[in-house]
A = this chain, B = another copy of it.
Amino acid sequence: MEAIHRASLRILSEIGLEVLGDRALDAVRGAGATVDRSSRNVRLDPAQVEALVATAPSVFDLYARNPERDITFGGTNLVFGAVGGPAFVSDLDRGRRAGNFADFADYVRLIGALDIIHQEGGGPLEPTDLPVATRHLDMYRTFAVELDKTWQCLGFGATPVRDALDVVCLIRGVDRDALLREPSLMTVINTNSPLRLDGPMGDGLIEMAIHGQPVVATPFTLAGAMSPVSLAGALAQQNAEALFLVALAQIVRPGAPMVYGAFTSNVDMRTGSPAFGTPEAVKGALASGQLARRYGLPWRSSNTTASNVVDAQAAYESEMAVWGAVMGGVNLLYQGAGWLEGGLTASFEKLIVDAEILQMISEVLQPIPVDEASLGFDAIADVGPGGHFFGTAHTLERYETAFYRPLVSDWRNFETWQADGSRTATERANTIWKRLLAEAVPPPLDPPALEALDALVARRKREIAAGA
């Protein structure tokens, strides 16, 4: 751990990052970094990096429209986030298609309906049928109307961040000052690995930090492609890039809440294709959790798979990723539900299968109650050798809540399962999301708030159309 730490500080001080945005460049220069304006190379002194990273909080809260949906990052808290960012969407009935607003709205409603998902992930799929310049407004309106849990905004540039701040202030009924005390918005900021921070991402990070809203600092270090083929090297580079983003946010606002994002996985060296849920990704996750804790930062990992279909591979790769994250002490499991095909597709059926996986993991993390009653000595004595416990008082008192009740899993015997159509988990998931979608009722929004929201969206669309 210390060797990776030292290597990453050496990367920051001797190689440096290329920072494409002027605001970010000005910020780090103002803080005393070594900046080469022509190459836009930025080098940071190790002691300064450590001092800056130390000002980020270890634990912070994120406030939702519904106070019962507030979440805490850091410590032993575990937040499950939904998939964010895919360009495509798929389900068993309609196959794979380009992301569109109708599917976007359905998917967000399902995210709202699934209690195990604690946070929306910044758009579960890209509504490519909407104009690029104003798309984020339609997305935010959907989040504000459909969800009472926290959601993520888009981080590429100051504009989508500012618009999100307006929406979230309106919907929570607070001003920007209150937002500083009660962070309510989150986004993921990626480096363009290796060692580059582009302009929009730098601007988004700065805008979030100015307003004290938490950022998930996430390098995209695919070992063998965007980082060294050796896991230690990929982790050193990931760590350097993540610390750079944390340091930048602290320069903008000391104490700005940050999450250490880790996304180290590997590529298939035969084809260059990214691979997910691999042993290397699991080991990278376990190491990343240690690194984040070394810096006292909440840690983000992901539930990922490279599978093109919701099959056994999708499930075993996702499980690998989830267990690696959870055993590593993850605080935010981003991309927690719905991700398919290396993140290119949001799958309706995968959303349900992942919800089951997250529910199971959540249940695994509950302690085993052990006391006289639960030890059940009297029940064991009463039943005696060769009996069964189905009808005992000890069972009858507890059976309704004794065990996890699954969402998708079919535990019926082969004959019953066969008579009912021999359906796979993915086929059952298809039935489940359609039923959930039909039954879902978004949390009611006061008519005046909805009116104000619509007015805000309309005004911003006009302003953007006018080039404002």
**A interface, CB within 8 angstroms of B:** 3-4, 7, 10-11, 14-15, 17-18, 41, 96, 192, 194-196, 223-233, 235-237, 266, 268-269, 271-275, 278-280, 282-283, 287, 306-320, 323-324, 327, 341-342, 344-345, 353, 356-357, 360-361, 363-364, 366, 368-371, 373-377, 379-381, 383-390, 394-395, 398-400, 402-404, 406, 408-414, 417-418, 422, 424-426, 429
Q: Is the beta-carbon distance between B233 and A380 smaller than 8 angstroms?
A: yes
Residue contact A402 to B223, C-beta cutoff 8 Å: yes
Is the pair B411, A370 in contact by a Cβ cutoff of 8 Å?
A: no
Q: Which B residues touch A11, using CB under 8 A?
A: 377, 380
In the bound complex, residues from chain B placing their C-beta under 8 Å from that of A363 are 279-280
Q: Are B308 and A315 in contact (CB under 8 A)?
A: no
Are A320's CB and B319's CB within 8 A?
Answer: yes
> How far is it, in angstroms, between the C-alpha of A349 and the C-alpha of B219 when the chains are bound?
37
Known pairs A377-B7, A380-B195; A232 contacts B369 (CB<8 A): yes
Write the chain B residue with the least CB distance to A15: B381
Given contacts A341-B414, A368-B231, A412-B273, contact A236 B194 (CB under 8 A): no
Enumerate chain B residues within 8 angstroms of A380, measured Cβ to Cβ: 11, 15, 194-195, 227-228, 233, 236-237
Cα distance, A272 to B395, chains bound together (Å): 12
Report if A224-B314 is in contact (Cβ < 8 Å); known contacts: A195-B380, A380-B11.
no
Q: Are A229 and B417 in contact (CB under 8 A)?
A: no
Nearest-CB residue, chain B, relative to A230: B374
Complex CA gap A409/B311 in Å reads 10
Give the Cβ gap from A280 to chain B, nearest Cβ, in Å. 6
Contact between B375 and A232, CB atoms less than 8 A apart:
yes
- Whether the Cβ atoms of B15 and A384 lie closer than 8 Å is yes
Q: Is the CB of A376 within 8 A of B319?
A: no
A226 to chain B: which residues have CB within 8 Å?
388-389
How far, in whole Å, are A383 and B226 apart by their CA atoms in the complex? 9
CB-defined contacts of A409 to chain B, threshold 8 Å: 275, 306-307, 313, 317
Q: Could you say which residues of chain B place their CB within 8 Å of the CB of A17?
A: 385
Q: How far is the CA of A232 from the CA of B394 in the complex (A)?
A: 13
Q: How far is the CA of A409 from the CA of B278 in the complex (A)?
A: 10
Query: A283 contacts which of B237, B318, B364 (Cβ < 8 Å)?
Result: B364
Q: List 15 A-B contacts (CB under 8 A).
A: A15-B380, A194-B383, A223-B403, A224-B389, A224-B403, A228-B376, A233-B374, A279-B361, A280-B404, A311-B425, A313-B409, A314-B315, A314-B425, A315-B319, A316-B360
Closest B residue to A314 using CB positions:
B312
Indicate if the CB atoms of A229 and B418 lie closer than 8 Å: no
Q: How far is the CA of A441 from the CA of B230 in the complex (A)?
A: 35
State how many angstroms separate the Cβ of A433 from the closest Cβ of chain B: 14
> Cβ of A195 and Cβ of B384 under 8 Å apart?
yes
Q: A195-B380, A311-B425 are in contact. List 9 more A-B contacts (CB 8 A).
A: A17-B385, A41-B385, A196-B385, A228-B379, A275-B411, A309-B422, A316-B318, A316-B319, A316-B353
Q: With CB as the reference atom, state the residue of chain B lying closest to A362.
A: B279
CA distance A458 to B437 in the complex (A): 65
Please name all residues of chain B whose beta carbon is closer than 8 Å to the beta carbon of A268 when the two chains form the complex. 403, 411
CA distance A307 to B412 in the complex (A): 8
A376 pairs with B425, CB closer than 8 A: no
A312 to B387, CA, bound (A): 35
Task: Please name all residues of chain B whose beta carbon is closer than 8 Å to the beta carbon of A387 when the two chains form the complex.
Answer: 194
Closest B residue by C-beta to A197: B385
Q: Which residue of B lies closest to A360 (CB)?
A: B279
> Whose C-beta in chain B lies nearest to the C-beta of A415?
B308
Task: Choose from B225, B316, B356 the contact partner of A356 (Cβ within 8 Å).
Answer: B316
Given A403-B266, A409-B317: A394 touches B233 (CB 8 Å cut-off): yes
Max count, chain B CB within 10 A of own CB: residue among A11, A279, A319, A389: A389
